[in-house]
Amino acid sequence: MIPSWLPASLPSPPEHTWYLGVVPVRAYAVALLAGIVVAAWVTMSRWRARGGDPWDVVNLAFWMVPFGIVGARVHHVLSLPGTYFGPGADPLAALRVWEGGLSFWGALAFGALGAWIGCRTRGLRLSSFADALAPGLFLGQAVGRLGSWFNQELYGPPTDLPWAVEIAREHLVTNPATGVAYPEGTTFHPTFAYEILWYLAAAGVLLFLDRRFKFGHGRVFWAYVVLYTLGRVWIEMMRIDETEILLGLRLNVWTSVVLGLVALAVSAVLARRFPQREESVEREPGPATTGPVPETMRRA
C-alpha cells in the first residue's frame, strides 16, 4: 500500500525555455552543456591520474563535441525520416536540435571520429583517452538526460506509482493499442529518470572496476559499452514514443543487443592480450618516426 503522505505523481516542469531579453535559454541545451562540462571535468581528473595533461581533454573536446552533436542529430533524423521529410512534415525541423531528438549511437560514432582525429594530431593513445572518458561520459549523460524531463519526452507506459510523471496535453503520445493520444491527466513511467539512475550506478561500477583491476588499452571503455547497452535494452522496452520497429522490437533494442555482444567479445580479447595497463598515454612512434613525438606537436 502506498503511504498517504507520498504525492500521487510528479509534475513536469511547466516551461522548457526562458528568455534573457530576446535571447531564448532552452533547458535541453543547458542540460546538454552541463553534461559536457561534468564529463570533461571528470575526464580531466582521470587523465591526469594516468599521466596525461588535463588540457589535452579540453583540446580533444573541441573535436569531439561538434562531431558528436552533428552525429547525434543526423542519426536521429535518418532513423525517423517520415517525421522530417514525410507528407506534411517540416524539413527545417531537422535543424532544431533544441526541441530534442539526439541519437546516442550517432553521437558516439561521430564523437569517436572526432576523438581519433584529435588524438592523432596530438600524439595520444585513443584507447587511453577512451578509458579516462568512460565514467565521466556516464555522469555527463545523466546530467544531460534532465533535458528530457523539461521537454516532457522519453517516458514509458501509464502507471499510478507515486513517482509517475505528469505530462502536459500537448506532449502526449499516441497509445499504440488504440491509435489515439492518451487522455489528459494520464501519468507515466519516467523512463528518463530510470536512465539517469542507471547511468549513475554504471559510473560507480566502472570506477570500482578500474580502481580494482587497473584496466587499460580501452577495457574501461568497452565495459562502458556493455553496461550502456544492457541498460538501454530494458529502458527501450519501456518507452512508448514512436520509433522504427524491426521483427517486433524497437530498432534500438536490436542495436543494443548486437553492440553489447560485440563489446563483450572485444573485452574478452583485450583482457587476454593486455592484462596490464599501458605505461604511457602517448602513442608509440610509427616506423617512419625516430624518437618521441615533439612537444611542440603535442601542444600545438
User: 61: which 3 cell numbers?
Assistant: 573536446
Dihedrals phi, psi of 101, to nearest 5 degrees = 100, 70
What is the C-alpha to C-alpha distance for residues 231 and 255, in angstroms, rounded to an integer? Answer: 12
- To the nearest 10 degrees (0 to 180), the angle between helices 27-49 and 54-79 is 140
What is the C-alpha to C-alpha distance for residues 30 and 158, in angstroms, rounded to an integer? Answer: 28
> Maximum CA pair distance of the chain?
73
User: 116: which 3 cell numbers?
Assistant: 581519433
3-class SS at 101? Answer: coil
Amino acid at residue number 36: I
What is the C-alpha to C-alpha distance for residues 207 and 195, in angstroms, rounded to an integer? Answer: 18
- To the nearest 10 degrees (0 to 180), the angle between helices 126-144 and 104-122 is 140
User: 206: which 3 cell numbers?
Assistant: 566502472
What is the C-alpha to C-alpha distance for residues 255 and 211, in angstroms, rounded to an integer? Answer: 30
The DSSP H or E segment spanning 245 is strand 245-246
Is 145 annotated as ligand-binding?
yes
What is the C-alpha to C-alpha distance for residues 193 and 108, in angstroms, rounded to an integer? Answer: 21
What residues are designated binding site? 145
